[in-house]
Structure formats: C-alpha cells, structure tokens
Structure 1
Amino acid sequence: MPVTASRSPNPRRIVLLAGPSGSGKGELSRRSGLPVLPLDEFYRDHDAPGLPRRYGIVDWDDPSSWDAGAALEALTSLAHDGSAEVPVYSIAESRRLGTGRLDAGEAPLVIAEGIFAAELIAPLTAAGLLAEALVLRRPAPVVFALRLARDLREHRKPPLTLLRRGWSLARAQAADVTRWQAAGMRPTGLHQGTRWLQRLAGSAEAEQHHHHAPARLPVLEITAVCFLRDGAQGTEVLAVRKRGTGSYMQVGGKLEPGESARDAAVREVGEELGVSLDPAELAPLGEFEAVAANEPGTMVRSTVWTTGTPLPDPLEVRAELADHRWVRLDHPGSGARLAPLMVQHILPALRDRR
C-alpha cells in the first residue's frame, strides 16, 4: 500500500560558534537575537567512565569529555521541529541536574556555541543544516581576565585550579584558534560577528519567505525492520540512530544491487544488531514514502517489516549505529527527533495493526 507523504517545510539551519573559554561567545549569541543552544550543557558527568584527566581533575577541554551525539540529536530536533529537550548541566558540580526545553520559535537560524562546536561541522554539513561556522577571536589577555572573572563569580572550580587552567588556555589560545580556522570556521570579532549574524538571519528569513518547492526529489529504495516489545506503559518499537546523525529510525538501510527487500532486511539486522533473522519470520507492514531524515534533497521509499524475533538484553548496536531507544507507539514523546518515515507512516501503521 504505497503512500506518498507531503514534504515538510525547510528546516532551520545552524550557526556554529567556537572560541576560547570566556571569550564572549555567549555575549555574541545574545546580541544576535537568535535562539541559542549552549553546547556546555552536553558535558558528561564527572563520574562517567573513561573521562580524560589533567591538573588532577577531569580535562573538560578534551572533546571526549563531551557528548557530541546528544548535541547533534538536539540540534536536529531544533532544526526540523523547532524545539528540543536539552540537559541542564552544572559546571560547578560537573554533572547534569535535569533537563529543560528549548524552543526556536519562528527563527530561521539557531546558534550552537561552545568550545567543541567544530566537532559538529561535518555532520551538520552532511545533513544540509549548517548555515555558518564562526570562531570568536579576541586578545589572549582580555580572554584570560574575562574567563577568570566569570569562573570565580560562578564558583566553577577552586581558585588555584582556575588559575592553572587559565594560564594553560592562554598559552594554547593562538593554536586553538588556528585549529578552529583549519576546521573551516570563519574568524570574527565581537562587533563584526554581531553584524554578520544579523545579516545572515535577515537573509535566511527572506529565503524562507520566498521559498518555492523544487521539482520532484530523487527517491532512495530502502528496507526497515520493526522490533516490538511490551513496555511498562504499552507497546514499544525499537528506534536506532546512525553515527553522525540526529534522527532515530528503524533498523535497516539501502538495498544492494540485485538484492530483494527481504534479503536486505536480514542482512541489515545482522550487521547492525548482530541478530540472525529467519526470512520467514518477517511480516510485511507496508511500503511507504517520506522525506529522508539524513540525506538532504532526497525521498525514501521503504519496504517495512515486523518480526517477533527476540532481541538480546542488553542490546548492543554495532556497525554504523551510535545508539538506540525504545519508543512508545501511543505516546512517542518529543525527547528525540524521529525520522519522518517513522512518524508519518510506521507508527500509525503499527497502531492500526493492533
């Protein structure tokens, strides 16, 4: 039963803003008037296993102390849905205190600011969501003074630790800015950056207002498999997220040349979950078409299957998958962005089948 979904509106685009700690990224973001996602909210808790250490504490300047996948997931939701669930992180306590909701409203751009912003250039570019990447460049003595005053005022760490870290960051600042530029970020000052962001926002808004739907998009043939389980609050379906992306979807993928949808489903489940499927266990749910979640300017046409094959507990995803979650059929929630194919077709079809 083929179904063609209406195309969703243009997503908001993301402006990445990096710069030394204390250089004024938050001030530049505030002056722009755009919604802001502080990337510091995605630091890992101080007791998470495997965190890097320096100065006798966790090295919070190392990207491995930060959850890039969660940040990308939130930005994808902001871009496509206009809101996202965001952690509330205490720098002083080095742990998450809870979550909050960030709404982008009607703004055509969202700023994501933090010292690890450059880590998101590649995945946002691949998703067609990157509008600009800026690095704030200011004199090292100014940044040192601003950072120390802020950190002492907010009691972020003991004073001696703040001084030691501050001197180290000041010595590394020139190399850090050079590295950010090499990653593709445009250097800017505070006032110049403010004017640039305001012009960029005006252009993006005009583009939204004058957008016309393009010709029919190319269609990618894929297959997907639904694993269901009885959760505490009702039936749940497995959703997975690929590395470098922010949307959750079903296990599956593209068909190889000459491969049937059923054979592709068996192969993908084996590669991504390490589970051997009996092809006879696959029951067709339908064939659906929707905007691709991770491939800009593309539609997907998917043959979707269900199976009663049990999954191992705990489940470990592999191959190109980054993580997974179980989604309630009746109340999918808004904590993560689900692929259009899942929202528009798969979840309704599963609900109708019960």
Structure 2
Amino acid sequence: MTTPGPLPRPPRRIVLLAGPSGSGKGLMGRRSGLPVLGLDEFYREHDDPGLPRRFGIVDWDDPASWNAGAALEALTALAHDGAADVPEYSISASRRIGSTRLEAGGAPVIIAEGIFAAELIAPLAAAGLLADAVVLRRPVPVVFTLRLARDLREHRKPPLTLLRRGWGLARDQRGDLERWIRAGMRPEGLTSGVRRLRALTALAEAEAAHGPGPRASDVLRITAVSFLRPGPHGPEVLAVRKRGTGTYMQVGGKLEAGETALEAAVREVAEEIGVQLEPRDLEPLGDFEAVAANEPDTLVRSSVFVCRRELPEPIAVRAELADHRWVRVDDPGTGPRLAPLMLEHILPALRGL
C-alpha cells in the first residue's frame, strides 16, 4: 500500500462576513488587511431559468440567485492551495464578464463576504475551515444611503428601480439581521469587527508558528473508481464533488459491513451515477492512503479500481453528489481543488498505466 507523505501545511481558515447590501462589508475587509473573496461574484447568469425576480428585476437578495457550490469550490481551493479562479460578475449586465486569479499569499485567514455568507457556515465548519462567522450591524438610514450612493455610482440599474429596491431592503434589514444571528453569526459594528478580524489573524499566526500537529489518527476504509475516456489533449478521468463540499474526487465511498472493496465499488457507482457495472468491468489500480479531503484529522485508506467502459452522456450525478467534471490525467490544471488521494496517488498511477 502507498502511504501518505508529510502532512501539508494547515489550511487557511475562513471568516464568513455577512450584512445588508451596501453596509460596508468590503470596507471592513480592506481595513483588516486580509485577502477577501466577494461572494457576490458567484451570482447565476441572467438567462438561468431558475432566477427569482423582485421589483421587476432579478432578486439578488434571494439565495436561489446565487451558486453556493461554485463559491464553496473557490473557498476550498483558497484555503488549501492559496489560490483560486474567481468569476467577475456585472450586476448591471446580470452576467459574468470575465475571471481573475485570487492569491491568498501567506495570510492564515481569508474573508468571504456577501449577503449569502451564512449559507456556507455548515459546510465550512464540517470541513474544519471555519474561523468565525460575523454579521456587520449598522443603522438602517446609514445602510440605505451607502447602498443607494454605490448603486447610482456604478449604474447598477435605473434610479427608480434602485430606490424601490432600497426601500424594500431597508424594511427587511431588521429581520435579515435577526436571521443571520439565528444562523450562528456574531453581530459586530464596523470598528469592533475589524478588531475581531485582526485578533483572529494573530491567533491563526500563533497556531501556525507551532507547526503542524500530529498525524491524523482516524482512518476511513473506502473504495474508489476511476473512469477513463479519451480527450482532445489526452486521457481524462471523471471527478465528482459531493454536495456541501468544494473538493473533487473519484466516484466511491465507504465500505459497508461485510462488503469487499470490489462489491462496494459496484454499489457506489450505481448509487452515485446510476451505472450498473459487473465486477469484471473493474481492474485494480492499487491500494493507497492519503489525508481525507473533506473530514478533518482523518486519513482515507482506499482500494482504487479503473473502469474503461464508456459512460452514457450526459452523466447524471445523484445521491450525495452535486457536480462532476473530466480532468486531464497528465495535467489536471489549476482549477477546482482535487482530493489528496487523487492528486498524490491516483493520477500518478494512471499515468503509469
């Protein structure tokens, strides 16, 4: 069995920052001196049929207008790898107009700010990445004025539409604040919030100075299947992302009581992508051990199989899966984060086939 090498540096921690639109979340981030990921960049495109509407325009304050999975992917990559490709979204055009590369550098803490930040509390906490969740609390008249001035300056929508939207959001602000607090966010003013962020940074730096802790002791026994296909630039392997996580990995999962790894592989493929395999469709790639992608202080010990059978297109992920993509075997690129098991063991083994 191939075992994991030295543990990587601890991932950067993430502070989620919410607050009413225009309340000064970006200003708080700038004053903290920390890298800031704007969650508003992950709005859905204007032609998405599921976009909710209000005030005669897309309702940008409804979580259904926002792609939580894409935001979680970027934050996971930033926390573990220190960089992520982030879309640039134009509110006035209601679409993405480009992308940029966000680098975290040596910062031990990252801020993710936006009105939907509370949606990410649970998945980031489960992944061991959450440092804190803060909601910016400021007076309603101040927020109304700041928001209207910003929206008019940036020509986001016609002035009358912006006024109607501004009055509606002002009426909702008290209830929104209570909802964020119930979700587990800490209310802070602008000045006290900046102090809180600086204190969290100092704590993270002190923890990092002591070096990585002991190797994870919990071990999960799993199985995984690598589906291969020819691509325009060489062989590609299927990678999937579980709901509420930001890391891509292989189809597979934990062994049930009394199952062999091969039996579990056949079952997991049926459950996750709806494909019925026979045991003869799978050939062993190897047994590997690596740091778990989504569970803190845990190792995974996996029996990995290869399947060259052609998959039906389009692939429909199901069960606990949220998304899938094909990754080049020889060059996976710098996009979404891949699980350590895949990067350190599976891709090198596939290259050697």
Q: Same fold (TM over 0.5)?
A: yes
Contact between 1:277 and 1:309, CA under 8 Å: does it hold in 2? no
Give the stretch that moved more between structures: 128-137 or 43-52: 43-52
The answer to whether the aligner puts 1:15 opposite 2:15 as a matched pair is: yes
Structure-to-structure mapping, 1:124-163, within 5 angstroms: 124-163=124-163
Give per-residue Cα distances to partners, 1:20-69, cap 9 Å, x unaligned.
Answer: 00000000000000000000000011111111111121111100100000
Distance 1:212 1:326, change over 3 A: closer
User: How big is each residue's C-alpha offset from its partner over 1:221-256, in whole Å with a ceiling of 9 and x where there is no partner?
Assistant: 000000000011111000000000000000000000
Query: Contact 2:216–2:297 (CA<8 Å) still a contact in 1?
Result: no
**Contact persistence 2:10–2:212 (CA under 8 A):** no
Deviation of 1:4 (Å):
3.0
Tell me if the contact between 1:14 and 1:132 (Cα under 8 Å) persists in the aligned partners: yes
Amino acid at match of 1:33: G
Mapped contact 2:216–2:299 kept (Cα < 8 A): no
Q: Give the secondary structure class of the aligned counterpart of 2:96.
A: strand
Contact 1:6 1:290 in 2 (8 A): no
Aligned equivalents of 1:80 and 1:216: distance in 2? 17
Counterpart Cα distance in 2 of 1:312 and 1:216: 38
- The residue that corresponds to 1:248 in the other structure is 248
Aligned length: 353
Deviations 1:285-306 (A, max 9, x none): 0000000001111000000000
Q: Which segment drifts farther, 301-310 or 17-26?
A: 301-310
How far, CA to CA, are the matches of 2:306 and 2:326 in structure 1? 15
C-alpha deviation, 1:99, in angstroms: 1.3
Partner SS for 1:172: helix
Give the equivalent residue in structure 1 for 2:190. 190
Q: Which 10-residue stretch deviates more, 35-44 or 214-223?
A: 214-223
- 1-structure distance, mates of 2:281, 2:324: 22
Deviation at 1:6, TM superposition (A): 2.4
Q: Counterparts in 2 of 1:274-289, with a 5 A limit?
A: 274-289=274-289
User: C-alpha separation between the residues in 2 aligned to 1:7 and 1:255?
Assistant: 25
Aligned equivalents of 1:215 and 1:289: distance in 2? 13
Give the equivalent residue in structure 2 for 1:206: 206
User: Does structure 1 conserve the Cα–Cα contact (< 8 Å) formed by 2:78 and 2:103?
Assistant: yes
Structure 2 CA distance for aligned equivalents of residues 60 and 199 of structure 1 = 32
User: In the alignment, what sits opposite 1:97?
Assistant: 97
RMSD: 0.8
Paired with 2:4 and 2:215, the residues of 1 have a C-alpha distance of 15
Residue of structure 1 equivalent to 2:339:
339
Is the contact made by 1:284 and 1:305 (CA closer than 8 Å) also made in structure 2?
A: yes
Partner of 1:2: 2
Do structure 1's residue 312 and structure 2's residue 309 form an aligned pair? no
* Maintained 8 Å contact 2:225/2:250: yes
Q: Using the alignment, how far apart are the partners of 2:266 and 2:280 within structure 1?
A: 10
Confirm or deny that 1:322 pairs with 2:322.
yes
In structure 2, distance between residues paired with 1:91 and 1:52:
15
Deviation at 1:93, TM superposition (A): 0.8
Could you tell me how far apart the structure 1 residues matched to 2:321 and 2:91 are?
30
Residue aligned with 1:337, SS: coil
Please state how far the C-alpha of 1:76 moved relative to its aligned partner: 0.2
**SS of residue matched to 1:156:** coil
State the TM-score, normalizing by the size of structure 2: 0.99
Change (3 A) 1:43 1:216: closer
> Is the alpha carbon distance of 1:191 and 1:326 closer, same or farther for their aligned partners in structure 2, counting shifts above 3 Å?
same
Kept in 1: contact 2:215–2:297 (CA 8 A): no
Q: In the superposition, relative to structure 1, how do residues 216 and 41 fare at CA in structure 2: closer, same or farther (>3 Å)?
A: closer
Is this contact kept in 1: 2:7–2:212, CA < 8 A? no
Residue type at the aligned position of 1:105: G
> Which range is displaced more, 332-341 or 307-316?
307-316
Query: Does 2:64 align with 1:76?
Result: no
Q: In the TM superposition, what is the alpha-carbon distance from 1:215 to its structure 2 partner?
A: 4.9
Aligned equivalents of 2:6, 2:310: Cα separation in 1: 34
Q: Supply the distance in 2 between the matched residues of 1:258 and 1:122 (Cα, whole angstroms).
A: 32
Letter paired with 1:183: A
Q: Which runs of 5+ in 1 are unaligned?
A: none
In structure 2, how many angstroms separate the alpha carbons of the residues matched to 1:47 and 1:161?
20
Check whether the contact 2:7–2:215 (CA below 8 A) recurs between aligned residues: no
Aligned partner of residue 128 in structure 2, secondary structure: coil
Tell whether the 8 Å contact from 2:15 to 2:111 is kept in structure 1 after alignment.
yes
Question: CA offset at residue 310 of structure 1?
Answer: 1.6
Letter in 2 for 1:17: L
